[in-house]
Amino acid sequence: MWNLYLPIAGNSINILLLFGLGGVVGFLSGLFGVGGGFLMTPLLLMVGIPSTVAAASDSNQIVAASTSGTYAHWRMGNVDFKMGFLLLVGGVIGGTFGVQIIKGLRALGNADFVIKMTYVLMLGIVGFYMFMESLQALRKGKVMEPKKVEPGKPSIYVRMIQALPWQMRFEKSGVTFSVLLPLILGVMVGILAAIMGVGGGFIMVPVMVYMLRMPMHVVVGTSLFQILFTCINVTVMQSITNHNVDLVLAVILLVGSTLGAQVGAKMSRRLHADQLKILLASIVLIVMVQILVSLILSPAQLLAYKGGH
Amino acid sequence: MMLRLSRGGKLMVAVLMFGLVLGLAGAGAAAAAAPELRLVPNEVEIGSFFEGARVELQGTIPPGAAAVVEVLGSTATEELLRKGRRGGLWMSVGEIKVHNVPSLYLLQSSSPEIPALTGQETPWGFAALQRAVQLSGMVAAGEQAKFFNEFLELKKHERIYRVLPESLKVSAGPEGASAVRGMIPLPAKVSPGKYQVRLSAVQDGRLLQQQESRLEVRMVGFPAMLADLAYQQGALYGILAVVIAIVTGFLMGFLFKGKTEH
């Protein structure tokens, strides 16, 4: 009872389990502005979904969660469409480069090493930096918005970005800088996301907070807006080339995740920016440790199916 | 009332009667000669609520013999990733292709242990499977057995390769034969296709007889429709998936908006 057959995954899975998984990951998505692919895909593998189907169907599910989340954040005035669009354009260009890099690495035979190391390093650096920064801010008990730059002593980074041409005002985020900056950062995140095989939300969020100096609440909404388009692209491409989007699986997950995303978006409004950051940092660090452990411990089986992250 | 027939009519009736008698006799002789292997049902349908299926097996074997049943899926080549250490860390280091691999392998027997043949290679079991399967790619000549075992572990873990001793019942049957009964447990992961079911009768390490039957697994209804769309109209399927996701996302947004405003 409560089991449904998933025609593309070729397996029968409990509906309530999938609904619950969708709810939890959707909640985190609405709360932190991440797609949650780095959590969902391994969870789906654990319940018996083939890795390629898990990754493709997850991107379909993220389309719904990020639509729901973007809509909720847009109503609260938290989406910087101009910034989101520039990051998206950069992300698409970077993603195309990243795919080529991975192809080259596969030909050389050490793609997996690069993917795994990029994963651990990115998660480690991002998680640790965000954790320490928010912890300090929470300890001091001050309301810290990273966009405020000390007026007297601009850092090298600030001087560099001020020197770039085509300065533009981003009203929603309350920042002014060159259109090139979000484009370049978008390209960098796009390359990393393509190498790691993820949407890149958990890299994009810290980039927006620390490098684009946007307020945390606008970051979450804008990140979701950008993830929405990335995942629409992935879903259609996967359906055409690999035929591994399981619509039944995606629909059950997305009913859960859209509900979760709404709750998460509301919760994000109630929490302080530093509390949000420290929570996200903790999840990122836990995932990093889990990957690191799987790299160090001898695996139970020496053969595995292809695909997935 | 007597029916009066012409000469030609009488001849025709005689020919028909003779044919009927011959036919009946032939059918009786065939039933006695060929032992039965029946599968109920012999067609399994995968619908929306499919959770695996149990197929009933009925057969006859000579008295005193043990029964062995093999269920084999169609064969293909599988590409798998080999894990190894790089810089002290475990990761995928290359591909191994496993050729001639059945999509399902179930082995059942009536005895507590799977019977083996003496004086010749046993044609069933994982050892027989190993003889039929070839490994290529990132696997050295001396590693073939090790990685075949790894491959088996992967399949056994998924429960699509299973050995089930004592899962068949043998009892006294009609005309001095033994009746074999059992259930073939098809997992939820069984893929659509044709399956071969082979019943062997073994006594004192000798193979007495073998019978074969076919089992078909088909996807029907909504899952079949969706799978057809996904494989034949990929673009349309992808767009449909995106539209469903966006509409649900918005719908959920509207529902929550209503709740928060009141």
At A109 the pLDDT is: 64
At A262 the pLDDT is: 86
At B1 the pLDDT is: 38
Check whether B184 has a pLDDT greater than 60: yes
Check whether A280 has a pLDDT greater than 80: yes
> Which pLDDT band, with edges at 50, 70 and 90, does B10 fall under?
low
Which tens digits make up the pLDDT trace of A251-275? 999 999 889 988 988 888 888 888 8
Task: Tell if the CB–CB gap between B154 and A262 is shorter than 8 Å.
Answer: no
CA distance B182 to chain A (A): 24
Query: How far apart are alpha carbons A309 and A295 in whole angstroms?
Result: 14
Mean of pLDDT values over B95-107:
95
Check whether B68 has a pLDDT greater than 50: yes
Radius of gyration over every alpha carbon of chain B, rounded to an integer in angstroms = 28
- DSSP string of B39-57, one letter each residue: EESSEEEE-TT---EEEEE
At A140 the pLDDT is: 80
* CA dist list (Å): B180 to A143, B40, B147, B186, B199: 78, 13, 36, 19, 9
Check whether B261 has a pLDDT greater than 50: no
Let me know the angle formed at the C-alpha of A59 by A248 and A308, rounded to the nearest 5 degrees: 95
At B24 the pLDDT is: 46
Reading the block at residue B77, the tokens are 């080549």
Kindly report the backbone phi and psi dihedral angles of residue A135, in degrees, each rounded to the nearest multiple of 5, phi listed first: -65, -45
Which tens digits make up the pLDDT trace of A134-153? 888 888 865 545 544 445 56
Check whether A99 has a pLDDT greater than 50: yes
> Which pLDDT band, with edges at 50, 70 and 90, does B22 fall under?
very low
Angle between helices B234-261 and A216-241 in degrees, nearest 10: 150
Question: Which of A1, A17, A57, A68 to mutate against chain B (most B CBs within 10 Å)?
Answer: A68
Long-range contacts of A268-272 (CB under 8 A, 24+ apart): A268/A30, A268/A31, A268/A32, A268/A217, A268/A220, A269/A76, A269/A217, A271/A31, A272/A143
Check whether B21 has a pLDDT greater than 50: no
B234 contact residues in A (CB cutoff 8 A): 239-241, 243
Which tens digits make up the pLDDT trace of B124-145? 999 999 999 999 998 988 899 9
CA distance B105 to chain A (A): 17
Nearest to B230 by CA among A258, A51, A235: A235
Query: How far apart are alpha carbons B183 and B40 in whole angstroms?
Result: 9
Which of the pair, A19 or A163, is modelled with greater confidence? A19
Task: Give the number of other CB atoms < 10 A from CB of residue A24.
Answer: 17
- DSSP string of B94-149, one letter each residue: EEEEEEEEES-EEEEESSSS----SSS--SSSHHHHHHH-EEEES--GGGHHHHHH
Task: Tell if the CB–CB gap between B150 and A302 is shorter than 8 Å.
Answer: yes
Nearest to A232 by CA among B240, B84, B88: B240
Task: Tell if the CB–CB gap between B189 and A11 is shorter than 8 Å.
Answer: yes
Give chain B's mean pLDDT.
86
Reading the block at residue A172, the tokens are 């929603």
Mean of pLDDT values over A262-289:
87
> Taking the model in full, what pTM does it have?
0.79
Kindly report the backbone phi and psi dihedral angles of residue B120, in degrees, each rounded to the nearest multiple of 5, phi listed first: -155, 165
Place of tokens 């970051």: A219
* CA dist list (Å): A270 to A135, A139, A274, B14, B192: 18, 19, 12, 97, 50
Cis peptide before A7 (omega within 30 of 0): no
Sign of CA dihedral A133, A138, A139, A140: positive
> Which pLDDT band, with edges at 50, 70 and 90, does B201 fall under?
very high
Is residue A45 within 8 A of residue A249, CB to CB? The reply is no
3-state secondary structure of A231: helix
At A308 the pLDDT is: 46
Which tens digits make up the pLDDT trace of A184-211? 999 988 888 777 766 677 788 888 888 8
Is residue A99 within 8 A of residue A249, CB to CB? The reply is no
Place of tokens 């993820």: A198
Closest-CA residue of B relative to A114 is: B91
For A254, half-sphere exposure in the C-beta direction (CA atoms, 13 angstrom radius) is 32
Question: Which of A29, A239, A241, A291 to mutate against chain B (most B CBs within 10 Å)?
Answer: A239
Q: Which range in A143-147, A168-172, B33-37 is most confidently predicted, on average pLDDT? A: A168-172
- DSSP string of A58-119, one letter each residue: HHHHHHHHHHHHHHHHHHTT---HHHHHHHHHHHHHHHHHHHHHHHHHHHHT-HHHHHHHHH
Task: Give the number of other CB atoms < 10 A from CB of residue B143.
Answer: 15
Mean of pLDDT values over A76-82:
90
Give chain A's mean pLDDT.
84
CA distance A61 to chain B (A): 7
Which of the pair, A121 or B262, is modelled with greater confidence? A121
Mean of pLDDT values over B32-51:
84
At B243 the pLDDT is: 97
Closest-CA residue of B relative to A113 is: B91
A110 contact residues in B (CB cutoff 8 A): 86
Which of the pair, B7 or B234, is modelled with greater confidence? B234
> Which pLDDT band, with edges at 50, 70 and 90, does B27 fall under?
very low
Q: Which of A166-180, A254-268, B6-20, B248-262 has the lowest mean pLDDT?
A: B6-20
> Which pLDDT band, with edges at 50, 70 and 90, does A59 fall under?
confident
At B134 the pLDDT is: 94
Task: Tell if the CB–CB gap between B82 and A302 is shorter than 8 Å.
Answer: yes
